Amino acid sequence: MATRSHCFVLLLFLLVVPLLAQGQESGGWNFSLLPDVPGEIGLGGPLVGNHDGALIVAGGANFPTPLTEGGSKVWHDDVYVLLPGAERWFTGQKLPQPLAYASCTSTPRGVVVAGGSDADQVYSTVFLMRWDAAAKKVFFDPLPDLPAASAFGSAEAIGDIVYLFQGKHQKSDLELKGGFWQLDLSDVESGWQSLPSHSGPVRYKMVTAVQRGPGGEPCLFLFSGARTTETEQGDPRFLAYTDGYRYSPATGEWVLVASLPVLGDSRQIVGKERFADQRWPISAACAEAVGTRAILTFSGSTDRHILDDDGKVRPADERPAFLPRVLAYDTISDQWSEVASMPVGVVTTEAVKWHQQIVIPSGETQPGIRTAQVQALSLATSVGGAHFGTLDYTVLALYLALMVAVGIYFARRSSTTDDFFLAGRKIPWWAAGLSVFGTQLSAITFMAIPATSYGSDWRRFVGSVMLLPVMLLVIYCFLPL
């Protein structure tokens, strides 16, 4: 009876303690605020990137006089730089010209800035922003112009290859071309090369990111976006898309992926019931890849409440603020989920990885209104934030000690080779079979292979499954000998 009690206590210990250790995993999404961008009212469409450890925010546009008071949009050329741990931004530098709504992507060579606009026109110029830590200065290097002008587009980089999704090519939103180009930074003399576009409608304000595809290779993902049309009476119609696409640079092919999910709207808005069963657009949102299979999207515009019941554009102060909703797309399971809420919902800005954080500087909180806040999501605590703590080490040490004790105990009870190899033939055949099966398992068998199967497809799992019929054969044919 005492032996059974001891076994029960030991079994309970082995079951409960690992659960306690598992409870050390940090939960939640840890957002914080970095020092505000200089200027009290913030920026829409700033140029954002990370180079050589420095966070760079430049240009952008805002309304110094509120839009509701008849103010006009003003484009800026200021350059701000934030270094790790600093409480203030470096200021004093200027862009070559006022610029906003360009497509930006960070590379080891610098931040690529493509296109953009000012008060008068949309540009096709491209340049590289480089931070020189010794000079404490941002340098601007010209790159080949785009094949056509682009604003409100999107740029991504895979290695030295920069990809550009064209936005609008003129100040009007009514005509879009939908170009898709690439530039090799190691061979800029070759210029931009045209690539096949996806099969969906032409758009701007699209949401893009780079993440591994189902086969493990880096792919480009494109979601949502918007387009503006006109009625015969000249009234605008705004359409935000909810579809998604994956582009494989290895094959040059586009694949349709899961559309954005159907989600409710927590805002107090008259008429939102009309959209209760519709998918949730995230036009002009920013996105960033995390881990090896997830893409996070931050906020976004639905373009649903711009018009009133008569089809006329509502005044800016009557339009709702953008929801601070954070969505996650799983590139392997091809599924969407709502995972968090950011402090403030913003659009027309960029998300950039910077020192174990996803940083979202400034942006537009609702039409005509910006924020100077710089929001940061900690990757250390939010993504796979389980830490190997004291209790984990304790469980590991106890498990090792227990295994050593079991080995010593049975070694002392074995007096002959028959005892050592066959346990005096006192072990039931099924128990011996389980023991043989257990010895065949390794970290590769029961951890790595299932993980790679989960990250790709079921073909790699066949080898692990075949251990079962092989063990049955061993148990039936060999163990009786």
> pLDDT by residue (tens digit) across 136-151?
999 999 999 999 999 9
How many angstroms from the chain centroid is the CA of residue 401?
42
Among 6-15, 26-35, 336-345, 445-454, the range with the most confident prediction by mean pLDDT is 336-345
Please list the residue range(s) of the chain that carry CATH number 2.120.10.80. Answer: 31-382
Consecutive H or E run containing 57: strand 54-58
What would the pLDDT profile of 286-302 be if each residue is shown by its tens digit?
Answer: 999 999 999 999 999 99
Least confident of 10-14, 109-113, 149-153, 166-170: 10-14
DSSP state of 458: G
Least confident of 113-117, 211-215, 433-437: 433-437
Enter the tokens of residue 336.
Answer: 């969407």
| pLDDT for the residue numbered 23 | 45
Mean pLDDT (the chain, rounded): 86
Distance CA 374, CA 48 (A): 12
Arithmetic mean of pLDDT, 380-408: 75
For residue 24, name the pLDDT band (cuts at 50, 70, 90): very low
Q: Which two tokens stand for residue 97?
A: 């010209």
In the chain, what is the straight-line distance between the N-terminal and C-terminal CA atoms, in Å? 34
Per-residue pLDDT, averaged over 64-88, amounts to 94
Specify whether the CB–CB gap between 211 and 221 falls below 8 A: yes
For residue 12, pLDDT over 60 is answered with no
User: For 204, which DSSP code?
Assistant: B
Q: Are 309 and 291 in contact (CB under 8 A)?
A: no
470-475: average pLDDT: 70
Q: Give me the count of residues in the chain.
A: 481
- Residues whose CB falls within 8 Å of the CB of residue 454, separated by 6 or more in sequence, listed in order: 332
CATH class (in words) of the domain with range 31-382: mainly beta
Confidence of residue 475 (pLDDT cuts 50, 70, 90): low
pLDDT above 60 (res 119): yes
Total Cβ atoms within 10 A of residue 343: 15
Q: pLDDT grade, residue 352 (50/70/90)? A: very high
Q: Decide if pLDDT at 415 tops 50.
A: yes
Categorize the per-residue pLDDT at 310 as very low, low, confident or very high, splitting at 50, 70 and 90.
Answer: confident
Distance separating alpha carbons of residues 41 and 324, to the nearest angstrom: 19
Question: Considering only CA atoms, which of 30, 19, 34, 21 is closest in space to residue 383?
Answer: 30
Place of tokens 């918007």: 226
Tens-place pLDDT, residues 420-468: 666 666 666 666 666 666 666 665 666 676 766 666 666 767 766 776 7
Model pLDDT for residues 240-269, shown as the tens digit of each residue: 999 999 999 999 999 999 999 999 888 888
Pick the residue with more confidence: 23 or 391?
Answer: 391
Predicted local distance difference test score (pLDDT) of residue 80: 98
C-alpha to C-alpha distances, 264 to 222, 383, 404, 408, nearest whole angstrom: 23, 25, 56, 61
Residue 11 has pLDDT above 60, yes or no: no
Lowest-confidence pick of 143-157, 229-243, 304-318, 331-345: 304-318
Question: Using 50, 70 and 90 to split pLDDT, how confident is the model at 234?
Answer: confident
